[in-house]
Structure 1
Amino acid sequence: MPTAEQTSWVILAGGQASRMGGNDKGLVELAGKAMIEHVIEALKTQTSSIAINANRNCDRYQAYGSVFGDHIQNYPGPLGGMHAALHHKDNEWIGFVPCDCPRLPSDLVTRMANACQEDTDIAVAHDGDHIQPVVTLVNRRILPKLEAFLANGDRKIILLYRQCNMITVDFSDQPNAFANLNTPEELQQFGQSYESN
């Protein structure tokens, strides 16, 4: 079972962001700062090990920390970032959060780590209504399954999880912490409420 200090965390910023007009979601501005800055601020009080998975604008992302890209071509989605991280990092436990989730829980790392048992493959955040499949803590032993899954052409994240020993971690006390911003309209609406709080 991991402690929070034994986990390493990766911000997934490697997607195409087609619903954001193709703009790199981690770098779009929210309340005067790049979205990824909000995510880093939420994580940096919880862990000293933060890296970024990005496939575009890597020079800009390097201003925020260590950056690595997918090993698989053609944007395979979050699983591509997870696959790259499991090759890039040597921690037994690696956590993932999306770059468009600016209000992550302040106890995310501790709560995710504490939920894991010896046989846990994947811990996934649950907001009380839905799982949040990209807010996850995985054990590196899933790598062979992940590689076989990707080699088969599969990309649907939940199908991989069903092949693993998955647990959910209850964050129903913080359901709004997982608001993710996929479109310019969502960004504008969220930004207005963010600045008024």
Structure 2
Amino acid sequence: MVIASLKEGIVSIITEYSMNKKNDYAELKKCTQQQVDAVILAGGKAQAMLGMNKLLQKFGKQIQLLKLDRILKTRTANVMISSHRDHSIYKSFIPHILCFKDDIAGSKGAIVGMKTAWQYSHKNYIFFVPCDIAVLPKSLLIQLFKYMKRHSRADVCYVSINDEPIYCLCLMHRSAINQLNRQIEQENYSLKQCFDQLHSVVFHLNIPGQLFSHIKTLSQWQQFNQIQAIQ
């Protein structure tokens, strides 16, 4: 009887813990849906991809644009694309999506796309996602949001995947805008150096067996798809 009661008590505690975790996740997801916009960064020249638009290529079984939108649209208020081309093609896939170009010409880097994005967002946070990200865990935004709430002074939280920092993959608070502007006014387009001047925190994400965190070249894209085809 004592053993049976003990077992029932343990099961009850585990069940309650699981329910609390689910409730916490649901509450955090509700917060991100209200407070966070998502911006897919696709403003590069893609020279290493021979000019191919990565966002319109298949990364595994799905076109990258559709895959990213599917993950982001249920976790954020709005999904936008920072890109200098192919806006009509994006809208043929997702009619409601908002597309914009950098407000400084010349493909100066992701920092300009981030700065421009704040002109289109009225939320407190923007979740920036590079168009060439190989894997985007569905729970990542929730984890970053929770991590930034824990570090209340943080202006930005960027992700390191398997010890490789991906500065373009980050959750940024509106408080970072002034530093973005200062950096660009100085014609310093280094995102790393910008983040060094902010209250930034890094979220370490380990994905065992993941060969590429993001796809930089045509060869990597081909290898990635070959691996995905046999999994």
TM-score (norm 2): 0.78
SS of alignment partner, residue 67 of structure 1: strand
Counterpart of 2:32, as a letter, is A
Which residue of structure 2 aligns with residue 131 of structure 1? 165
Structure 1 residue 119 and structure 2 residue 188: aligned? no
Based on CA coordinates, which of the two structures has the bigger radius of gyration?
2
Query: What RMSD over aligned residues (CA atoms) do the two structures have, in Å?
Result: 2.0
Counterpart of 1:26, as a letter, is L
Percent of pairs with identical residues:
24
Q: CA deviation at 1:191?
A: 0.6
Would the alpha carbon gap of residues 176 and 4 (structure 1) be closer, same or farther in structure 2, given more than 3 Å must change?
farther
Q: CA deviation at 1:29?
A: 3.2
Which residue of structure 1 aligns with residue 117 of structure 2? 85
Which residue of structure 2 aligns with residue 163 of structure 1? 197
TM-score (norm 1): 0.90
SS of alignment partner, residue 45 of structure 2: coil
SS of alignment partner, residue 38 of structure 1: helix
Q: CA deviation at 1:169?
A: 1.3
Which residue of structure 2 aligns with residue 70 of structure 1? 102
1:37 aligned to which of 61, 66, 69: 66
In the alignment, the residues of structure 2 paired with residue 138 and residue 32 of structure 1 have an alpha-carbon distance, to the nearest angstrom, of 30
Q: Which runs of 5+ in 1 are unaligned?
A: none
For 1:174-193, what aligned pairs fall within 5 Å after superposition? Answer: 176=210, 179-193=213-227
Q: Is the 8 A contact 2:156 2:201 kept in 1?
A: yes
In the alignment, the residues of structure 2 paired with residue 46 and residue 175 of structure 1 have an alpha-carbon distance, to the nearest angstrom, of 27
In the alignment, the residues of structure 2 paired with residue 56 and residue 84 of structure 1 have an alpha-carbon distance, to the nearest angstrom, of 15
Q: CA deviation at 1:42?
A: 3.2
Q: CA deviation at 1:172?
A: 2.2
Q: Is the 8 A contact 1:7 1:94 kept in 2?
A: yes
In the alignment, the residues of structure 1 paired with residue 212 and residue 103 of structure 2 have an alpha-carbon distance, to the nearest angstrom, of 27
Structure 1 residue 50 and structure 2 residue 72: aligned? no
Bigger proportion of residues as helix: 2
SS of alignment partner, residue 141 of structure 2: helix
Q: CA deviation at 1:174?
A: 6.0
Q: CA deviation at 1:39?
A: 2.2
Work out which structure has the larger RCO, using CA pairs closer than 8 Å and 6 or more positions apart in sequence: 1
In the alignment, the residues of structure 2 paired with residue 106 and residue 177 of structure 1 have an alpha-carbon distance, to the nearest angstrom, of 19
Q: CA deviation at 1:28?
A: 2.5
Structure 1 residue 4 and structure 2 residue 32: aligned? yes
Q: Which runs of 5+ in 2 are unaligned?
A: 1-27
The runs of 4+ residues in structure 1 deviating greater than 4 Å are: none
Aligned residues: 196
Q: CA deviation at 1:86?
A: 1.0
